[in-house]
A and B are shown apart, each in its own frame.
Chain A
Amino acid sequence: MHRSAQQEGTKAETVIDIEEVMQQVAEHKGCGTQGGSGKASCGSAAGQGDLPTEIWEKVKNHPCYSEEAHHHYARMHVAVAPACNIQCNYCNRKYDCANESRPGVVSEKLTPEQAAKKVLAVASTIPQMTVLGIAGPGDPLANPAKTFKTFELISQTAPDIKLCLSTNGLALPDHVDEIARYNVDHVTITINMVDPEIGAKIYPWIFWNHKRYTGVEAAKILTDRQLQGLEMLTERGILCKINSVMIPGINDRHLVEVNRAVKSRGAFLHNIMPLISAPEHGTVFGLTGQRGPSAQELKALQDSCEGEMNMMRHCRQCRADAVGLLGEDRSAEFTTDKIMEMEVNYDLDTRKAYQAKVEEERIAKVAAKQEELSALAGERSDIRLLVAVATKGSGLINEHFGHAKEFQIYELSTGGAKFVGHRRVDLYCQGGYGEEDSLETIIRAINDCHAVFVAKIGGCPKNDLIAAGIEPVDQFAHEFIEKSAIAWFKTYLDKVNGGEIEHLARGDAEIRQGALIA
């Protein structure tokens, strides 16, 4: 089961196709703008590029897999599976599964029948809702009956909804056939190590074959089962994303090896997430004071894995019962009580019409970026810098600085604008805390950026940002992000070249700890 490093090399061919092309989808590079490839692969599909059509069909409307799609499409999770078969040191099971969602938040547990009704209710209200996920709290495959019952009910009434599932992988090999039978097209496996010695520091125990195993023995079984499950899924053509939690001092360097191991087994996307750990979560890591990575450490690791395979950088570690576009949660509108009273009218045609409109918007956005990029042609500079963007979605700079719950981070260079992540921030306008404090929090979160693009910003925060060395940019309000960022970058380069300003490196930034409530 556990393949040696040499064997891995031979399996690598199976991923090649997906490899290059997925970058475009996974990271917003809708148009093969990345140096080297040089292909003008911007067809009318806005982002398909050279991606094999069957894979493109699977990912294009999936907000968790495609940075491009996540601006336009929505996903929801239902929590039907509270039991788990392993223990992770970053998890306190009073709360949601930290693998796929945020610690410190409790999701409402639903029966499969309630969950199916909820999905239909949401899908009828939010036509962008294209994906249903079953993740934590707990492991969906430690609760196979509830998980597959939910899938069955939904596939009967709403066949256009894509199903996906997140698992720790321990029980995965036992359920691969069933996963294929329900047409589940995406599976996320959380793999934090391929070395049992390291695993023993992350997992105190597992429950397998009617027995509790601990230490290295437990971690060995877990890694063997995870990699076996991954191979079985990719053999059947089911897309697999790997989540890894970056735990500084434990698996941070090792994740490069994990990246190689999963790539060679056909995983198509690797999502490295920062450990979120605070003493009040009551997790083992929270109590031992294990810290999470800084923004720079996380980006450095993602960059070093990127040559190897596609990295997913837009994961927001959303809560397990989240509803809505990524970074937005409308779950309060859909509590169990409200759903059970709702008259649900599932209208496939309205949904299709809506989705066609969204597709047009995407094409417009990609075209706008392409146009601006040609303006950069001929520019030569080694300067690479980060900017933060306040956005509500649709690829536009359309959020007020004070209302932003998160900022998207783009890396700018003469190669264009590349999405590299997002930063959560406290609501600056909401009061409660002193305004000064929240502004400081924001500055710390985007401290590695040269500029912040907003639709609007007040005078006070503007001055404080300038004092902190971050340029507030509001002249591109309601315009496309990438196009505007490139235009700004061009002016910046001109100023540097003209000696008007000096290009200085920025410091590190903080990753916000604790649960994002909204």
Chain B
Amino acid sequence: MALKIISSQCTSCSACEAECPNVAISEKGGTFVIDPKKCTECLGHFDSPQCAAVCPVDDTCVIDNAFPRYQLPA
């Protein structure tokens, strides 16, 4: 139910942090990480995941398959 950041590709530019509607992103140990408990894949807020749309490095903010996809509460 979340996206994750491939930390080896993250430039620590912090752009995603400010865009996340759920304050799910924070800096940890020099790169940025997504808290999977807070991330909603931007569903209900925006058309596409904001972190992925603003990130300067392609394929760095990606779906985390370790979790089932997020469902909007009915």
A-side residues, CB < 8 A to B, are: 82-85, 87, 93-94, 137-138, 142-143, 145, 207, 210-212
Contact = CB atoms under 8 A, between A and B. Distances in A.
A85 B57 CA distance: 12
The 5 closest A-B pairs by CB, nearest first: A83-B15, A212-B53, A93-B56, A207-B54, A82-B13
Give the contact-size bracket for chain B: 10 to 19
B6 interface: no
B30 to A, nearest CB: 11
B11 A85 contact: no
Contacts of A87: 56
Contacts of B47: 210-211
B14 A83 contact: yes
B11 A207 contact: no
Contacts of A85: 15, 54
Contacts of A84: 13, 15, 56
B14 A207 contact: no
Given A143-B18, A211-B53, A212-B54, A83 B13 contact: yes
A410 to B, nearest CB: 41
B14 to A, nearest CB: 5
Given A210-B46, A211-B48, A212-B48, A82 B54 contact: no
A212 B54 CA distance: 7
A210 B13 contact: no
Interface in B14-70: 14-15, 17-19, 46-48, 50, 53-54, 56-57
A93 B13 contact: yes
11 contacts: A82-B13, A83-B13, A83-B54, A84-B13, A137-B13, A138-B13, A138-B15, A143-B14, A210-B50, A212-B48, A212-B54
Contacts of A145: 18
A82 B53 contact: no
Nearest to B50: A210
Given A211-B53, A212-B53, A212-B54, A82 B14 contact: yes
A85 B53 CA distance: 10
A142 B13 CA distance: 11
A142 B56 CA distance: 13
B44 to A, nearest CB: 13
Contact of B15 (A94, A142, A210, A211): A142
A210 B48 CA distance: 8
Contacts of A83: 13-15, 17-18, 54
Q: Which of A83, A87, A142 has the most CB of B within 10 A?
A: A83
A138 B55 CA distance: 12
Contacts of B57: 93
A51 B71 CA distance: 64
Contacts of B14: 82-83, 143
B11 to A, nearest CB: 5
A207 B55 CA distance: 9
B53 A207 contact: yes
Contacts of A94: 11
A145 B19 CA distance: 13
Which of B17, B48, B53, B56 has the largest number of chain A CB atoms within 10 A?
Answer: B56
* Residue from B12, B13, B18, B48 whose CB has the most chain A CB atoms within 10 Å: B13
